[in-house]
């Protein structure tokens, strides 16, 4: 049985090896939250890797066993680790199967929901807290307290972007009593004007924001799932895709992806259309006026090709 400390060290070594070869990558999401002190533990690792650094990462994965077990692709639906698809927002999934347990690695090139290039936020082997907090605006309720906690930590370090990540109204009010709220952050997140003005509609507006982001993330995921159906079936029916050999698995996935996997499904769908649908669906779940203070969500698709 592998310990959490051993897993942490293993993934840190992967990132350090890629960075040491000139690649740009960093740990993000759950494991980053552990390092930043807002989560307890996770056996999964999410990794951001610049598309131009995929070759370095691939070489490291091929050459880095865990307790004598090599890396393999995880599941049939995972796209190949290839810049052509990673630039469009796809995620590649890997595993080291240790029998009773396993280590999991998910690789992104585009940080979901990010409003600025994640590479500018890199902090050693970790993605910066601002990017990690934005990635936590998911359709899962359990992720939102992490965004809030990271927002508070940013403010404590003098980074006013923390105001953009706090989604607990009691925390917003507590922090407002001791931390300046710049007009620039109100412009980015209009509901903060309600906090400044002690407006009782603040709770409605923050809840509306949360439901909107959850709805948008659910729709985003559905776009990728729909786009992957033909690819998934082809990989599932290809025996080579299941052999315990990473190179052969990769060859099979690239071959099918070139025929069946669109490079950038969200661009094909249309971002304006996606945002409008998310707002419409969220509005159907909320009281009137709950979405009147939404931020400009189109900013949160930076880097997507």
In the chain, domain spans: 4-121, 136-218+270-301
Measured CA to CA, the distance from residue 289 to residue 194 in angstroms comes to 13
Give ∠ CA 119-187-194 in degrees, rounded to 5: 125
E strand spans, the chain:
25-28, 44-49, 72-73, 92-97, 102-108
What is the per-residue pLDDT across 158-187, written as a single tens digit (0 to 9) for each?
A: 999 999 999 999 999 999 999 999 999 999
Measured CA to CA, the distance from residue 114 to residue 54 in angstroms comes to 20
Largest CA distance in the chain: 62
Q: Report pLDDT for 304.
A: 87
Identify the helix (H) or strand (E) that includes residue 56.
Answer: helix 54-62
Q: Which is higher by pLDDT, 56 or 3?
A: 56
**Residue appearing with tokens 């940013």:** 154
Q: Report pLDDT for 122.
A: 64
Confidence tier at 303 by pLDDT (50, 70, 90): confident
Measured CA to CA, the distance from residue 291 to residue 289 in angstroms comes to 5
- 4-121 in CATH: which number? 3.30.460
| Contact between 167 and 148 (Cβ < 8 Å) | yes
What is the per-residue pLDDT across 12-68, written as a single tens digit (0 to 9) for each?
A: 999 999 999 999 999 999 899 999 999 867 778 999 999 999 999 999 999 999 999
Q: Report pLDDT for 3.
A: 86
Residue 5 has pLDDT above 90, yes or no: no
Chain-wide mean pLDDT for the chain?
A: 95
**Residue appearing with tokens 């400390």:** 5
Summarize the confidence of residues 187-192 as an average pLDDT: 98
Summarize the confidence of residues 120-142 as an average pLDDT: 91
Burial (Cβ within 10 Å: 0-12, 13-18, ≥19) of residue 195: buried
Q: Report pLDDT for 265.
A: 97
């Amino acid at each position: 049985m592998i310990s959490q400390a051993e897993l942490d060290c293993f993934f840190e070594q992967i990132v350090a090896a890629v960075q040491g070869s000139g690649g740009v990558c960093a740990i993000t999401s759950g494991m980053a939250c552990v390092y930043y002190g807002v989560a307890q533990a996770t056996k999964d690792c999410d990794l951001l890797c610049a598309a131009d650094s995929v070759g370095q990462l691939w070489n490291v994965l091929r050459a880095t066993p865990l307790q004598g077990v090599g890396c393999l692709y995880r599941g049939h639906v995972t796209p190949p680790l290839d810049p052509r698809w990673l630039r469009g927002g796809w995620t590649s999934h890997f595993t080291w199967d240790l029998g009773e347990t396993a280590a999991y690695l998910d690789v992104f090139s585009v940080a979901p929901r990010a409003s600025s290039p994640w590479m500018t936020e890199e902090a050693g082997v970790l993605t910066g807290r601002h990017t990690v907090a934005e990635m936590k605006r998911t359709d899962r309720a359990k992720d939102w307290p992490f965004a809030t906690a990271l927002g508070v930590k940013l403010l404590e370090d003098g980074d006013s972007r923390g105001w953009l990540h706090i989604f607990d109204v009691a925390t917003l009010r507590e922090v407002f009593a001791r931390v300046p709220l710049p007009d620039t952050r109100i412009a980015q997140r209009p509901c903060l004007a309600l906090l400044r003005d002690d407006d009782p509609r603040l709770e409605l507006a923050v809840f509306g924001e949360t439901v909107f982001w959850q709805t948008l993330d659910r729709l985003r995921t559905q776009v990728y799932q729909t786009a992957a159906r033909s690819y998934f079936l082809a990989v599932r029916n290809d025996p080579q895709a299941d052999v315990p050999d990473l190179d052969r698995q990769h060859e099979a996935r690239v071959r099918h992806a070139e025929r069946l996997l669109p490079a950038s499904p969200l661009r094909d769908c249309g971002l304006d259309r996606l945002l409008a649908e998310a707002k419409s669906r969220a509005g159907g779940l909320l009281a009137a006026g709950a979405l009147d203070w939404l931020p400009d969500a189109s900013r949160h698709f930076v880097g997507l090709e």
